[in-house]
Amino acid sequence: MTPTTSDTTNRRHTSHWGAFTAAVQNGKLVGVTPFEKDSDPATYLKSIPGAVHSEARIAGPVVRKGWLENGPGGNRESRGAEPFVAVSWDNALDLVADELRRVKRDFRNESIMAGSYGWSSAGKFHHARTQLHRFMNCFGGFTGQIGTYSTAAATAIMPHVVGTATAALAGTSSKSISDHAQLMVCFGGLPLGNMQSAVGGVGDHDTLRWLREARANGCEFVSISPIREDMAEFIQAGWLQPKPNTDTAVMLALAHVLATESLHDEGFLSSHCVGYDSFERYVLGESDGQPKTPEWAAAISGTEADAIRSLARRMSSTRTMLTCTYSLQRGDHGEQPFWMVVVLAAMLGQIGLPGGGFAMGYGSIGVNRDAARDLSVPILPAGRNPVESSIPVARISDMLLHPGEPYQFNGMDCRYPDIKLVYWSGGNPFHHHQDVNRLIRAWQGPDTIIVNEPWWTATARHADIVLPATTSLERNDLSASAGDRFVMAMQKSVEPVGDARNDFDIFLGLARRLGIAEAFDEGRDEEAWVRHLYDLTHRFAAQRGVELPGFDAFWEQGFVEIPPPAKPFVMFDDFRSDPEEHPLRTPSGKVEIFSEKIAGFGYDDCPGHPVWQEPVEWLGAESAKRYPLHLISNQPSARLHSQMDQGSVSRDTKIRGREPITMHTDDATARGLADGDIARVFNDRGEVLAGVAISDGILPGVVALATGAWYDPLEPGKAGTLDIHGNPNVLTLDKGTSKLAQGPAAQSALVEIDRYDGVLPEITVFSQPTVIER
């Protein structure tokens, strides 16, 4: 499987943003050609060669100077500012192994955090988080993370409401929608850029195709978002522009219209749902004295009452699909809009109908949902974690700042563990996590932070021991996404850059030092593992009547295409046809509009049915007098999260080297700002520089600064310093969505903006930090 000089120009590969063929000259990746079956390739594939050979690559193992000289915890307050010392691989692995032994011996395994949240590789074998978890499970366990930053609130609420977290991640197939839906109401819109990526890769970006088919078949669209570009222009969608974080109020008003005008399906609510009566009393104002009328919602959201009333009537009169992007549940009380989408679909009585009901995540991730859904491609097994210690994914700073303190989560009374060692492999918490300045203070707590990473991200710069990892193009693997119709080979195209090693080899080196190598590798090397995972896929496919070629033929071809199912998938169609024979996995077996279980938790921020609760920060808050702009930290169009920010496509979108911030003409004029200016964006949590991009396609009072600009502080390692590049998480709020999910509330953030007239600092995050050779 290792390429030779003569065949490296035709190596198949894939990534989160699409499949391609790699072009190599003299051992260096010089270009990529999109997969021939991809109808709409992602534009930022062209960033891959520059990223692989980036100046920001980590050349070899290094150790922070203060840690090397003083041992664990040495000069921990200097993380991010202190130089590194180059060491050999043997030295680095010995140091890591010794430190793992020390922490396990003196503090037990729950004092080791191996969360490593992030997309890492699209591969099924070289998936960094799984590799780390497998290694740590062999070593005796670790403290992990529950949920994801993308969907934490959604995957917490959905099991209570419809019995499965997958309802937050998947839905009725796009073909069923294009064939049957007559109205698609999209809370958060359908941002096409988001649908260019998928966790396991995308063989064919078919979003444009099925959306055009839906339009040709008569489906109309309504986008409910403060940003016009959240829906493609060719769709010719209606546009409602609520203030951020007020979607739940709009949904409650839609429910009020359905209830008061007898447009709801009483039969479905009676046969397939529980708790509607309690919810209706709230909507009508009988339980709290406030009817949730369109006029009430208009005062909160800024959306016209007549527009809400008209939309409710349209929804009830035709086959309607309701969708909700993940962004809505990343705000304060983010559980509520996802719960309300289900309630609205239940009131319409369309759950389980072709092209009707609800689907979460459309517009958030690139899966076409028309592949053979029951054909699984196994990932490297991580094994069982012997340690019963984990935290909600976005509570990292809380854990590090408050070890031993109690907190509530999804009906459980929990305590934060006392973490002495953090091992990160795959992912970049200085991108994902909110309130970066608070994270910097929290990051100074552990004795040791170890990072496997290809590039000098902020996370690597704030580590004690940094081990250079390969990119996917420097190793062999295979990939597939649950909603895609291709299994793709990921063929090694170039040799490891610098002294990089793949995560499997790194952990195997540690496993040998710790006496757990046999349990970790099971006697298989990379090639044997990739063959093994494909052979399991081959076996599963045969059991389902799908014939796949043998491994050698698959590897030679570079991909295999799986035929679509004969019948497009419709979520909950069996439950709709017979709720007694196919009950949901909820306590009642039905859709829980009111949840006795959640009510029993006694949470003041998440009661037993959907409600409107004011976010801690929004345009109706008292704090809006000081900070009158609502910051949306949406997904970027030129990269995936922070991945590929060092690539040419992302860097070409910068304004004088800074991440662009989109703002309405009126807001810019009021602050004396023009297109191309550099602005200081600030609140009580921090300040960043960003380039001004003026648009009439955004709601006045709202600004959008995409996630993923690599954190580049003016004074490295110091909390509170100016970020000169435009990382929005310097500004976002580090607060749980509620006690139920404790998800990230990044979309609840207020800021102010003024012009930056100082000397513009040079961006340094894409270059090398100081490394001392010894």
User: What is the DSSP secondary structure assignment for residue 524, as one 8-state letter?
Assistant: -
Strand ranges, E, within 179-288? 183-187, 220-224, 238-240, 273-274
Catalytic residue among 17, 44, 67, 117: 117
Residue that has been written with the tokens 């854990």 in this structure? 399
CB distance 730 to 599 below 8 Å: no
Point out which residues pair with 479 in neighbouring strands.
488
Catalytic residue among 119, 210, 362, 710: 119
Q: How far apart are CA 388 and CA 401, in angstroms?
A: 21
- 391: Cβ–Cβ under 8 A, 6 or more apart, which residues? 115, 143, 144, 145, 146, 398, 399, 414, 416, 417
The CA distances from residue 18 to 274, 297, 502, in Å, are 43, 41, 21
Angle, in degrees to the nearest 10, between helices 294-301 and 247-260: 170
The CA distances from residue 651 to 28, 31, 47, 56, 654, in Å, are 21, 17, 9, 14, 5
Question: DSSP secondary structure string, 50-106?
Answer: HHHT-TTB--S-EEEHHHHHH-TTTTGGGTTTS-EEE--HHHHHHHHHHHHHHHHHH
Six-digit token string for 655: 């304004």
| Residue 119 is a catalytic residue | yes
Q: How far apart are CA 724 and CA 727, in angstroms?
A: 8
Local structure of 561: helix, strand or coil: strand
How far is residue 615 CA from its own chain's centroid? 22
Q: How far apart are CA 21 and CA 484, in angstroms?
A: 18
Q: How far apart are CA 734 and CA 514, in angstroms?
A: 37
Six-digit token string for 557: 């071809």
Q: How far apart are CA 248 and CA 157, in angstroms?
A: 15
Pairing of strands 771-772, 591-592: unpaired
Six-digit token string for 573: 């169609």
The CA distances from residue 628 to 432, 620, 690, 750, in Å, are 25, 9, 17, 7
User: What is the four-CA torsion angle of 62, 435, 170, 178, rounded to 10 degrees?
Assistant: -110
Give the side-chain half-sphere CA count within 13 A for 169: 16
User: What is the DSSP secondary structure assignment for residue 269, as one 8-state letter?
Assistant: H
Q: How far apart are CA 460 and CA 79, in angstroms?
A: 10
Nearest to 211 by CA among 188, 186, 242, 241: 186
Six-digit token string for 627: 């900070």
CB distance 421 to 104 below 8 Å: no
- Rg of the chain in Å (alpha carbons): 26
CB distance 666 to 738 below 8 Å: no
Q: How far apart are CA 547 and CA 541, in angstroms?
A: 6
The residues that are catalytic are 117, 119
